[in-house]
Structure 1
Amino acid sequence: MQTVLHKAESRGHASHGWLNSYHTFSFAGYSDPSRVHFGVLRVLNDDTVAGGMGFGTHPHDNMEIISIPLSGDLEHKDNMGNHGIIRRGDVQVMSAGTGVAHSEKNHNKDQEVKFLQIWVFPNQRGVKPRYAQQTFRAEDRHNQFQQVISPSPDDAGVWIHQDAWFSLGDFDPGFQTEYQVKKAGNGVYAFVLEGEVTINGQKLHRRDGLGSWDTDSLSIQADSQAQLLLMDVPMSL
């Protein structure tokens, strides 16, 4: 097994007043040749947007874009005719494909919105753009993994154009489990949302990231009340 550890404090950081963003991988003004991507996982941004503020309409193409709200209400609008709000418990996917333009803003003026913005390289280029979102029950990830992203509309979660599976878990202190890698050759990037966990002997704290590959399973222990996101992705672009 091979691993790469990204401590929370080592991430890139951009503060624009209305936006406070931490970048696990190179993004915008943050560039680190050793941290461009983990397999097909290209962007993992931890964003906080001030009340009433947001990202104006901007384009994307040939990327699977995943938004996972952590708190607050995120308002989405795009040129495919989609307009709605996503909240904690929702997962949103936009397959940019041949091209899409969208905006994201904090729906509320009196509180922040916090969310993860994640980009995954697709396994097909030039697909028809699409939008999807799904609400997941918190109780279905208590001391177990809840699959929220998958490669197929016939599988659990919102599907994307990639052999990737994302799972969320909320764990009690002392809880232990094994995660089986979904596809041979995939790696798993673990991102600690809250609390402390130990994965294959490596202690991780809030917002730490650990990428593991050349293995078929992970041994996970919650060292406190913890929330964890696992991204099981192909390692070859």
Structure 2
Amino acid sequence: MSNTILHKAADRGHADHGWLKSYHTFSFGGYYNPKAMNFGALRVLNDDTVSGGMGFGRHPHDNMEIISIPLEGDLEHQDSMGNTAVIRKGDIQAMSAGTGIFHSEKNAHHNEQVKFLQIWIYPNQKNVEPRYDQLTLNLDDRHNKLQQVLSPNKDDEGIWIYQNAFFSMGNLDKGFNTSYKIKGGKNQGVYTFVLKGDVTINGQQLNTRDGFGIWGVDELTINADSDAEVLLMEVPMIF
């Protein structure tokens, strides 16, 4: 029997710090919603906009898989592992915080904003050696198809993390229909975040920035009701 949860865009938590405007699908910072703590191993889904030249100062993390997906502009990263990098739209970045890291993120430009998703996944191994990875993806590979951008496998498509999770992204034309089959075995669920446009997933109509989680199924049907961009995050529901 399938189970679902719907998070409408307007119902998300919101923080406006002037330089940072952030929408929280799940409880984060000053936003606490006992009905929106996580979706399985998916703990944080923040939709951030950072003003030119601004950013997050050096801060710590441990025992969390942290994924950043830029949507617009360029994000500059520095960390205690010695990495300095800029991630752009079409890139995906992952850090295994493990035993502990410090990092900072800021808008790489002073005259334009940067938008990105910050996602936290509970790991399936604790106290691993911290690691950093970054990958540039071919955006053409997600036109009217679901491009895998993250997995638990080092030799698979996309970036990898310490969890039985699979992320896919699709840029779908209006009227295009496709499906997604569960990849990780039983006790997996899929949380879809609509980046842009209107889609219907297993009969549920969704709009821009809506989130929809479903578990207890083997397959999802996805219908693009307009030109749309979607992110599918398959994660363990029991971990």
Shorter-normalised TM-score: what interval?
Answer: over 0.9
Question: Is 1:74 aligned to 2:100, yes or no?
Answer: no
CA deviation vs aligned residue, 1:109-154 (integer Å, no higher than 9, x gap): 0000000000000000000000000000110000000001100101
Q: Does 1:206 align with 2:208?
A: yes
Instruction: Report the Cα offset of residue 159 of structure 1.
Output: 0.4
TM-score normalised according to structure 2 size:
0.99
Q: Which amino acid in 1 is paired with 2:229? A: Q
**Counterpart Cα distance in 2 of 1:18 and 1:208:** 24
CA distance in 2, matches of 1:84, 1:122: 24
Deviations 1:205-233 (A, max 9, x none): 00000000000100100000000000000
In the aligned structure 2, how far is the partner of 1:111 from the partner of 1:122?
34
Q: How does 1:3-14 map to 2 (within 5 A)?
A: 3-14=4-15
Return the alpha-carbon distance in structure 2 between the equivalents of residues 15 and 178 of structure 1.
Answer: 37
Runs of 4 or more consecutive aligned structure 1 residues displaced over 2 Å after TM superposition: none
Q: Alignment identity in percent?
A: 64
Match of 1:139, SS?
helix
Tell me the C-alpha RMSD between the 2 structures. Answer: 0.4
Match of 2:179 in 1: 178
The corresponding residue for 2:26 is 25
Corresponding pairs, count: 237
Q: Which residue of 2 aligns with 1:215?
A: 217
Counterpart position of 1:50 = 51
CA distance in 2, matches of 1:149, 1:63: 15
Partner of 2:230: 228
Give distance in 2, aligned partners of 1:182 and 1:16: 39
Which whole-Å CA distance do the structure 1 matches of 2:7 and 2:69 have between them? Answer: 20
Deviation at 1:72, TM superposition (A): 0.3
What is the match of residue 164 of structure 2?
163
- Alignment correspondent of 1:96: 97
- For residue 111 of structure 2, what is the aligned residue in structure 1? 110
**CA distances 1:5-64 after superposition (whole Å, capped 9, x unpaired):** 000000000000000000000000000011000000000000000000000000000000
Unmatched runs of 5 consecutive residues or more in structure 1:
none
Q: TM-score, normalised by structure 1?
A: 0.99
1-structure distance, mates of 2:151, 2:26:
22
Alignment match, 1:136 = 137
Tell me how far apart the structure 1 counterparts of residues 133 and 208 of structure 2 sit (CA, whole Å): 29
1:168-192 deviations in whole A, cap 9, x for unaligned? 0000000001100112210000000
Q: Distance in 2 between matches of 1:62 and 1:209?
A: 25
